[in-house]
Amino acid sequence: MTVSIARVYDAPDDHRVFVDRLWPRGVHKDDPRIGRWLKEVAPSNDLRKWYHAHPDEYDAFSARYRAELDEPGPQADALAELVRLGTDGDLELATATKDPSTSHVPTIVAALADHGVR
C-alpha cells in the first residue's frame, strides 16, 4: 500500500480521492479524474482563508490543520475513512492546487503515516 499525491487535472489512478473542500474550476461533476470526493477532510474554511492570506506561513498552517484533524468531528471521521482506504490498498490523494507540496495534502499524508498508512 502506498499513498501518492496528484493534481486532479492529471490522469486518474484507480484509487483516487479528491481531498479539496472546493470543487475545481473547469471540471464537470461526472469527470472521472475526480474519483471519490472527500471534502470533509480538507481544512476548515477559516483556516483555508487564513492560509490564502499568509502563504509564507506553511508550517503554522500545517500545525493548525493537524490540530483540526486531531479534534473529534467530521474532519477526523474523514481522516479515519482515508486510513481505512489506505489500509485496503494504494491511495492517490488529488488536489486542484497549483503546488501540491505546499497544500494541505502533505499534512494529510503525514497524518496517514501516523496511522500506519504510508
Phi, psi for 81 (deg, rounded to 5)? -65, -40
- pLDDT-derived band at 14 (thresholds 50, 70, 90) equals confident
Please compute the mean of the pLDDT values over residues 29-33 and round it to a whole number. 89
> Does residue 112 carry a pLDDT above 90?
yes
All cell numbers assigned to 75: 474532519
Give pLDDT tens digits for 33-87.
899 999 999 999 999 999 999 999 999 999 999 999 999 999 999 999 999 999 9
* pLDDT at residue 11 in the model: 84
Alpha-helical segments (H) within the chain: 45-53, 58-70, 74-88, 105-114
* pLDDT at residue 113 in the model: 94
Enter the pTM of the model.
0.94
- pLDDT-derived band at 91 (thresholds 50, 70, 90) equals very high
> Does residue 94 carry a pLDDT above 80?
yes
